[in-house]
């Protein structure tokens, strides 16, 4: 196969001078910007920028300080290994590095390491107290189970595992016989004291693996209460349920109570109001449904009354919350996926929390084709990380009064100003059942409507994850378009932001209407004179990879090439090798051996359509992908080979569901575009 990229990692001369469009190497040169914290008075903020070194095959994150009004940034750290979780602590900045917590002056001087905790700590949140001390909340790995070596100490060379329950591996790692415990300590007079393990003796994790972080716990404004999220389940129960709870720990009485008692789905991200009288968190209603609508629950700590924001009116039925923060004691701001983008809404909750009496108002603040992601309050305005399909994340200031945005950081402007950008277009495509489906169309730079372009149908994963204005460093639409492809990215059935009915339709119908939606999108674009209908490709990962396998058996000659990354190929074998059973149980109805589920498996299982495969396919999979285990990719590739279909298997032994290693990322793009170049540009 012709290789699209040279894999030489040292590129002489200026990349910007040689390349007028985005390339994989240039993509890896972008600084990855993330917001850490805003000062108490809202006058300045600290943020991090990660740069990757392809030759060293690793990244490094440094911290910067900037006025909230904009201006010149001041770098305050440059340590080897990266600095994270920065936060303002008086006139200093605290941050995590090398498994410990540090303080540094805002001018980057007088670095002090304030913790020296064996084994290291992570997710540190610091809270200055009135007596001059600093309360530290953090997590630490604690051994909670017997290891195999301890079971057979006389056989030190034996290599084995004894497994007697589920959840023995999760996403990309095996059970390591440890738990992540939430701990608290106090820093006073140059020393850390009063170390407390809130989960001592428990086989329980805070945050909830694998994706939870420091947003999972917080300290009340008066320093007396800790709220945290945890999933007090293990084994089969953990595998089959999403039931997490919000716990409240009283530091004075050392008592713990559950605030979300009787709430059976995911409950997460607890935050106290500024005066500490209320607490809010995100909540899903249905146990086992990981993509349920996320409601915002506000609770009065004294009375115990709860308000479920979205349940107060039918007019909020199309909303779901993905993040929030308090502004005032009766005002919050929340991130909401809506109409193909992520936006910010203002939520005012005044008066009693009785649903019949509360004065509740929800109003959209931001507009435009952007993703507004992580945000923090900055006085009366918000500082927000924003991105779109043509631009990686930068930090913007958004006015609370009118939603207008001002760009503050310009980390990647020099690169984007030197290359051609893509035109991104919104299209409404009519589906087979008469619905209107938002479809993004991304055009190559310097698009010429008199020419014909090979075109890619992008299939989204999830399956319930919006095709928004995201900027991926793998599935990068700007990069695909820059190589001469038109990209068609439909918000097919099963994606949030278009109402609850649209979002929930995918469950139990993986290979039905969603596949029709994909075909409707590519068929609509194929009628355009600038689309080369004889050179159509189909690509996707996870559920998107499943979609590729499924479409390979039903596309009726539409496509000339397929690429599936970490796709589900054999639903029956996948069901018995994946780990989070609640996902499979909800979306597929449960195990395949139950009579009521046989139709879902038989009708929508890609392996049962292999007899129709007739198109070249590239299969990509990671060896540490335990959500969609590697046998799925092997089975698909073997089937293609046995049928005599041109095919290739790109295998990364040490990658999981995503490709995170920088040099592996270059290989990924090389093989991805090399395959398309071979089969779509002959």
Which residue numbers are catalytic?
542, 625, 657
> Helices 513-526 and 543-554 meet at what angle, rounded to 10?
70
Q: Which residues of 352-384 are buried (b: 16+ CB within 10 A; e: fewer)?
A: ebeeeebebebeebbeebbbbbbbbbbbebbbb
d(CA 311, CA 355): 9
- 10 Å CB burial of residue 50 (0-12, 13-18, 19+) is middle
d(CA 80, CA 61): 9
What are the tokens at 565?
């990354």
φ, ψ of residue 183 to 5 degrees: the values are -130, 160
Decide if 463 contacts 423 (C-beta within 8 A): no
What are the tokens at 647?
């095919």
Contacts for 136 with CB less than 8 Å, ≥ 6 apart: 101, 115, 124, 125, 126, 127, 184, 185, 186, 187, 192
d(CA 68, CA 63): 15
d(CA 428, CA 362): 27
What are the tokens at 332?
């919050």
- The candidate with the shortest Cα–Cα distance to 583, out of 321, 189, 286, is 286
d(CA 290, CA 582): 8
Pairing outcome for strands 436-442 and 405-407: unpaired
């Amino acid at each position: 196969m012709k290789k699209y990229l040279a894999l030489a990692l040292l590129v002489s001369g200026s990349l910007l001078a040689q390349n007028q469009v985005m390339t994989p190497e240039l993509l890896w040169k972008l600084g990855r910007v993330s917001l850490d914290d805003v000062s108490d008075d809202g006058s300045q903020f600290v943020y991090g920028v990660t740069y990757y070194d392809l030759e060293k095959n690793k990244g490094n994150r440094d911290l910067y300080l900037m006025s909230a009004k904009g201006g010149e940034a001041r770098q305050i750290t440059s340590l080897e290994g990266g600095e994270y979780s920065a936060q303002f602590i008086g006139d200093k900045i605290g941050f995590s590095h090398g498994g410990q917590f540090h303080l540094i002056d805002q001018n980057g001087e007088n670095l002090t390491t304030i913790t020296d905790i064996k084994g290291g700590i992570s997710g540190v949140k610091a809270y200055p107290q009135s007596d001059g001390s600093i309360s530290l909340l953090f997590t630490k790995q604690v051994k909670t189970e017997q290891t195999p070596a301890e079971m057979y100490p006389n056989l030190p060379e034996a290599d084995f595992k004894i497994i007697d329950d589920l959840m023995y591996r999760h996403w990309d790692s095996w059970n390591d016989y440890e738990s992540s415990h939430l701990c608290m300590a106090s820093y006073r007079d140059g020393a850390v004291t009063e170390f407390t393990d809130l989960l001592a003796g428990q086989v329980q994790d805070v945050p909830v693996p694998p994706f939870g972080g420091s947003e999972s716990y917080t300290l009340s404004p008066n320093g007396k209460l800790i709220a945290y999220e945890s999933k007090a389940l293990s084994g089969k129960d953990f595998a089959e349920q999403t039931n997490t709870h919000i716990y409240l720990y009283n530091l004075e009485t050392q008592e713990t109570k559950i605030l979300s008692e009787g709430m059976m789905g995911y409950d997460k991200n607890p935050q106290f109001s500024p005066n500490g009288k209320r607490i809010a968190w995100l909540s899903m209603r249905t146990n086992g449904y990981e993509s349920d609508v996320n409601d915002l629950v506000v609770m009065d700590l004294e009375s115990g009354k709860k308000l479920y924001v979205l349940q107060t009116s039918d007019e909020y039925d199309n909303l779901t919350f993905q993040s929030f923060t308090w502004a005032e004691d009766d005002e919050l701001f929340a991130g909401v996926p809506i109409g193909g983008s992520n936006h910010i809404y203002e939520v005012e909750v005044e008066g009693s929390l009785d649903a019949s009496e509360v004065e509740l108002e929800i109003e959209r603040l931001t507009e435009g084709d952007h993703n507004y992601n992580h945000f923090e309050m900055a006085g009366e305005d918000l500082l927000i990380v924003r991105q779109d399909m043509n631009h990686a994340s930068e930090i913007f200031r958004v006015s609370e009064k009118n939603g207008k945005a001002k760009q503050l950081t310009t980390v990647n402007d020099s690169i984007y100003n030197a290359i051609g950008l893509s035109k991104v277009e919104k299209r409404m495509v009519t589906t087979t059942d008469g619905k209107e489906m938002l479809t993004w169309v991304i055009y190559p730079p310097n698009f010429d409507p008199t020419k014909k372009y090979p075109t890619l149908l992008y299939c989204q994963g999830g399956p319930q994850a919006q095709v928004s204005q995201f900027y991926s460093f793998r599935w990068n639409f700007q990069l695909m378009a820059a190589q001469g492809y038109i990209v068609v990215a439909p918000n097919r059935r099963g994606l949030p932001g278009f109402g609850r009915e649209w979002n929930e339709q995918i469950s139990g119908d993986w290979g039905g209407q969603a596949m029709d939606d994909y075909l409707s999108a590519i068929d609509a674009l194929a009628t355009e004179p600038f689309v080369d209908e004889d050179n159509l490709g189909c690509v996707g990962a996870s559920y998107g990879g499943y979609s590729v396998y499924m479409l390979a058996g039903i596309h009726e000659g539409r496509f000339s090439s397929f690429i599936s990354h970490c796709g589900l190929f054999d639903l029956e074998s996948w069901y018995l090798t994946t780990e989070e059973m609640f996902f499979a149980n909800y979306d597929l109805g449960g195990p395949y051996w139950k009579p009521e589920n046989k139709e879902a498996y038989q009708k929508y299982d890609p392996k049962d359509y292999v007899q129709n495969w007739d198109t070249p396919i590239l299969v990509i999979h990671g060896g540490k992908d335990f959500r969609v285990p590697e046998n799925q990719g092997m089975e698909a590739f073997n089937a293609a080979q046995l049928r005599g279909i041109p095919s290739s298997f790109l295998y990364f032994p040490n990658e999981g569901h995503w490709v995170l290693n920088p040099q592996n990322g270059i290989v990924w793009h090389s093989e991805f575009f090399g395959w398309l170049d071979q089969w779509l540009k002959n």
